Structure 1
Amino acid sequence: MPSVTASSADPSEMPPTASWAELFTGRNGWRALALTGGVALHAVNVHIVTTVLPSVVREIRGLDWYAWSTTLFVVGSILGATLSVRLLAVLGPRGACLAALAVFTAGSVGCALAPAMPWLLAGRTVQGLGGGLLGALSYGLIQLVFAQRLWPRAVALVSGMWGVATLCGPAVGGLFAQAGHWRWAFWFLLPVAAAQALLVAVQLRPGAGVRHVRPAAMPGIPLLQIGLLAASVLAIAASGLLPRLAWQASGVVAGLAIGVAATRIDRRAAVRLLPTGAYALSAPLGAIYASVALLLVGVTTEIFVPYFLQTLHGHSPLAAGYLTAAMAGGWSAGSLLSSGRSGAGANRMLRAGPVACTLGLAALALLLPFPGRLGQGFETSLVAAALAVVGLGVGIGWPHLVTRVMSLAPQGEGGLASASITTIQLYGMAVGAAVAGLVANAAGLTVPGGVEGAQSAAVWLFASFALAPALAALLAYRVIAAAPRRW
């Protein structure tokens, strides 16, 4: 992978954002489609699995392992994201994307054939590996194929693929689940992956103007740091299986301690997982990374929404899937609408986003547990609006968070910074999913279970997870206030 030099200048001095027309004109448009198709496939899969998972656990059992489907998927994605730099250097843009699609396809086949929950979890891990590669490669290629003025638009387009997924992911998952054929939801992904592979093979070929300069030395792989991050997430998730609350809390503390150890080792490592300055909250880059992780922790509550909607509100799998997809729809809409902002406008988006996310989660803590108080139609509308606000809060700041990571990366660490966006995003999701499972189970999801357990779990889950974007809001205000002195 060629070294991408990123400026460490004030983000407010970046070139004016280009128009959407320039991104979609000529060769740029085909490249954008090739980059974003893999993310769309990954996003559709996420919504399919979220929608069919209640049906899955009813057939092959494993409610205790409900959150592990997301936890292991994201652990695999972290590994994929960190390997993407090496894969891109060795195989080039086209070869790396095709390899990622092949891994993702293998995981989908494993899920479709799963006879029991352990098999499904193994398939989800492999799916996550392919999905992490696809996501990181999309961000990494933005800097290689587009001019800097197109970066915010390209980032917003990648985020917008989650909006595309809201149109078809819940429909595919919901229709197959209602028909009693959830396995076909995974088989559905195979022809989509084949079509994307054909597009990549044509549009990212070396003769199409896509640069690939093989580096003199292959990028190293931070295996120790990756292993520690995976161990951190798994320790947190496994603590939910312990019989006593005190033991569970100790497991969470141990998992977080392993994560801290990974950061300390990475600071001194010759082969780094994150760029220089990523671990200091007092530095702009570190504060932005922390904001990304906290926002993603907040939105992982999405994995339990279909279960609560079906168990407490009596919605069908299809209806629950589409309601849940409102969160991703809000993310996409916010990202696309805010991507043209720069300077003071971008700062406003960075401030407002975490606040909106916090308010949306707080509203869900009031709306989801106790249905029937406001009338079903009106109540359903309020739930959909609250979910959309959570996603909107992440989306309106997302293009500016990612662009600032790229622009603030130290000299010569642009490629690492691009891949690390996905790494941080996924680690936040993995920790969030693991803690969400722990909180939900501790609050009664499985014991006493049923309606009573689901009500208690919903209250505790959304109320506690609203704290994560609230902390991100404080970081955003502090960083922006310090901008004249630091940036």
Structure 2
Amino acid sequence: MSSIENTASNPSSSVFALFSPKLLPATLMLGGGVTLYAVESYITATIAPSIVRDIGGLELFAWMTTLFVAAGVLGSITVATRPKGMGLRAVYVAAAITFGVGSLICAVAPLMPVLLVGRAVQGYGAGMLSGLAYAFIRFVYPEVLWRKASTLYAAIWGVATVLGPTLGGLFAAGGAWREAFIVLVPLTVIMALSARWLLPAVADDRSDTRTPLIQIGLLLAAVLFVNIASTVEHGSYTVLLIAASIVLVATMVAIERKSDTRLLPYGAAMLGNPISRLYLTMFMAMMVLTSDIYIPYFLQTLHDVTPLVSGYLVALVALGWTVAALLSASFSGKQAAIAIIAGCILETAATASLIPVLATATPFDAVARFAPAVVAMFLMGFGVGLGWAHLVTKVIGITRRTEQDKASAAISMTQSLGGAFGAALAGVIANGAGLTHPGGIAGGLSAATWLYALMAIPGLIAIVLSFTIRPASA
């Protein structure tokens, strides 16, 4: 097995060691893949109105995101279920080319259905690139840097929350939404061509390469249902779709427990196993964090904050994630375990604190009035960032070597699923609490109160789970 790890002697434990001459090429390639996935998610959300105005298809508006997310989950699964003997480097090349092809289809799409095909192809490639970043960690970096690499990937998602909408706004302002896709094509070509020289060739050490088609089908259906649930207007349909999603996921977990052909690493479907609790903690943390999607609405409707300012205020969530990830990068052992617990507590407390902060009709016309909101939003992201890299490192560290590709792919999958279910649940709560009926100030006050009260519950579950994570597995 060829690995950059073998060439790195006495590596520094600093995050800057990822950018040392020997590791820089691989860091750029893997970090670049995560960046494409993260930034593109936010760019397209920003330019979507421009796309609809140009080529129509308003009735299919939500599917631009739905197909991208669902295909991304399938892409991350592909990293672990690829054909036997296919190395990770070959998967990277295929992923970069797939993402580029999808971007090209989007750029030339004359109608919305064609663009949706491109978004699905894009999402599939992006999902593979994101999953590969975690799959390559153990081959590219010495173990002392695994946590630092995970920190870097977490920080990229935080930065993308600000960078993506900014870039998307620039393209949308000039009516150049096609250019937002076309600029990605040469970049992906460069990435595909560079992979042979900048990424190590590693042996395929998986013991089981059979494809769990039933579990994949159930999971994809659940993702589609929950994404559709976040877009439908009738509350009863939304509840039914989410309930169906939960049933599908439960069925998938039940099959995982008994099947010899698994989608997840051994033990991930059994709550008594530590790796199951690690994934579940990640899932709950992402669910809670996704409740921030309604913050701009509450800021604008209840507190007279301009759209531009509200956008930058919500970016504090991403800033908090990035700052915490960098601050906790050097933690290990008991420190890492404490960081996970403290992170879950901070995120949950910050979410609940948004009730008195946002559920008022007071204009934020002075620093003293919006300062509590600033602190709460920052701490939401800070809590997740404080423990995320340590959860990732623990997953990779306790998984059997022959199943580490599955474990790595499941990290990206868990992140996407948590976001999808969180967005759908937030929509159900907000709409059920009166966001649209009666709407206005009264509806906003009720929705803000119920949303952040109920979305703190998954955070409480994450806190309980975090106390079961043993420092010895760090």
Q: TM-score, normalised by structure 1?
A: 0.82
2: CA distance, partners of 1:424 / 1:299: 14
Shift of 1:148: 1.4
Post-superposition CA distance 1:441-476 (Å, at most 9, x none): 444455556666555544443332222222101111
- How far apart, CA to CA, are the structure 2 residues paired with 1:380 and 1:234? 37
- In the TM superposition, 1:207-246 aligns within 5 A as 210-214=200-204, 219-239=209-229, 245-246=235-236
Residue 467 of structure 1 aligns with an amino acid whose one-letter code is I
Kindly indicate whether the alpha-carbon contact (under 8 Å) linking 2:256 and 2:269 is maintained by their aligned counterparts in 1.
no
Matched, 1:35 2:25: no
Instruction: Determine which of 406, 415, 419 is the counterpart of 2:409.
Output: 419
Deviation at 1:427, TM superposition (A): 1.9
Preserved contact between residue 15 and residue 149 of structure 2 (Cα < 8 Å): no
State how far apart, in whole Å, the 2-side matches of 1:425 and 1:98 are.
Answer: 23
Residue 262 (structure 1) aligned with residue 257 (structure 2) = no
Aligned residue type for 1:299: L
Percent identity, aligned pairs only, is: 39
Distance in 2 of aligned mates of 1:67 and 1:466:
26
Letter in 2 for 1:283: N
CA gap of 1:318–1:51, structure 2 versus 1, over 3 A, is farther
Pair 1:251-2:246 in alignment = no
Worse-superposed segment, 233-242 or 222-231: 233-242
Q: Distance in 2 between matches of 1:472 and 1:81?
A: 24
Deviations 1:324-377 (A, max 9, x none): 332222212211211211111111101111111112222334444546434255
Please name the residue that 2:154 is paired with. Answer: 159
Match of 1:96 among 82, 91, 95: 91
CA separation of 1:91/1:283 partners in 2, compared to 1, >3 Å: closer, same or farther? closer
Q: 1:90 to 1:382 in 2, by over 3 A?
A: farther
**Separation in 2, partners of 1:376, 1:64:** 40
Single out whichever of 172-181 and 265-274 deviates more from structure 2.
172-181
Corresponding letter in the other structure for 2:262: R
Q: Distance in 2 between matches of 1:391 and 1:50?
A: 20
Aligned partner (choices 264, 274, 278) of residue 284 of structure 1:
274
Give the 5 Å matches for 1:182-221: 182=177, 184-197=179-192, 199-204=194-199, 210-214=200-204, 219-221=209-211
For residues 449 and 180 of structure 1, the distance between their equivalents in structure 2, rounded to whole angstroms, comes to 32
Match of 1:107?
102
Conserved 8 A contact 1:38-1:134? yes
1:130 aligned onto 2:125: yes
Shift of 1:134: 0.9
What's the counterpart of residue 5 of structure 2?
A: none
Aligned mates of 2:440, 2:320 — CA distance in 1: 30
Q: 1:244 to 1:153 in 2, by over 3 A?
A: closer
- Quick one: structure 1 residues 115 and 394, their matched pair in 2 at CA, closer, same or farther if it must change by over 3 Å? farther
Contact 2:66 2:228 in 1 (8 A): no
The yes-or-no answer on 1:339 pairing with 2:329 is yes
Residue 231 of structure 1 deviates from its aligned partner by 1.5
CA offsets 1:102-126 (integer angstroms, 9 cap, x no match): 3223333455566777666554433
CA positional deviation for 1:234: 2.7
Higher relative contact order (CA 8 A, sep 6+): 1
Measured after TM superposition, the shift of residue 62 of structure 1 is 8.3
SS of the aligned residue for 2:397 comes to helix
Shift of 1:73: 2.6
Which is further off, 413-422 or 54-63? 54-63
Matching residue of 2:261: 271
Residue 26 of structure 1 aligns to a residue whose secondary structure is: coil
**What corresponds to 2:385 in structure 1?**
395
1:144 aligns with 2:134: no
**Which amino acid in 2 is paired with 1:420?**
A
CA distance in structure 1 between the partners assigned to 2:296 and 2:185 by the alignment: 24
Q: Measure how far apart 1:57 and its partner are.
A: 7.0
Unpaired stretches in structure 2, ≥5 consecutive residues = 3-9
Matched, 1:404 2:404: no
Which residue is 1:9 aligned to?
A: none
User: What is the CA distance between 1:434 and its match in structure 2?
Assistant: 2.7
The answer to which of 52-61 and 162-171 deviates more is: 52-61
For 1:228, the aligned partner's letter is: L
Q: Distance in 2 between matches of 1:35 and 1:423?
A: 17
Greater alpha carbon shift after TM alignment, 120-129 vs 229-238: 120-129
**Matches of 2:181 and 2:309, distance apart in 1:** 19
User: Measured at CA, do residues 108 and 239 of structure 1 come closer, stay the same or move farther in structure 2, by a change above 3 Å?
Assistant: same
Aligned counterparts of 1:356 and 1:116: Cα–Cα separation in 2: 45
Checking the alignment, whether the CA contact within 8 Å between 1:170 and 1:325 is kept in structure 2 is no
Match of 1:8 in 2: none
Alpha-carbon separation, structure 1, partners of 2:293 and 2:118: 18
Q: Partner residue of 1:73?
A: 68
Contact 1:77 1:128 in 2 (8 A): yes
Superposition deviation, residue 179 in structure 1: 4.7
Question: Would you say the 8 A contact 2:364–2:370 is kept in 1?
Answer: no
- The Cα offsets for residues 50-83 of structure 1, whole Å up to 9 and x where unpaired, read as 4445666788888897765544332211101110
Residue type matched to 1:169 in 2?
A: G
1:323 maps to which residue?
313
Aligned to 1:357: 347
Deviates more, 1:319-328 or 1:145-154: 319-328
Mapped contact 1:45–1:189 kept (Cα < 8 A): no
| CA apart distance, 1:398 | 0.9
- Structure 1 residues 466 and 193, CA gap change in structure 2 (3 angstroms): farther
Q: How does 1:295-310 map to 2 (within 5 A)?
A: 295-306=285-296, 308-309=298-299
Amino acid at match of 1:80: G
Match of 1:47 among 42, 45, 55: 42
Q: CA deviation at 1:211?
A: 3.0
Q: What is the Cα deviation at residue 314 of structure 1?
A: 6.0
Q: Would you say 1:85 and 2:75 are equivalent positions?
A: no
1:246 Cα deviation after fit? 4.7
Higher mean displacement: 243-252 or 154-163:
243-252
**In structure 2, what is the Cα distance between the partners aligned to 1:338 and 1:181?**
40
2:20 corresponds to:
25
Contact 1:144 1:211 in 2 (8 A): no
- Change beyond 3 A, Cα 1:318–1:119: farther
Segment of structure 1 superposing worse, 230-239 or 462-471: 230-239
CA RMSD of aligned residues (A): 3.6
Write the letter of the residue equivalent to 1:260.
Answer: A
- Counterpart CA distance in 2 for 1:299 and 1:438 is 16
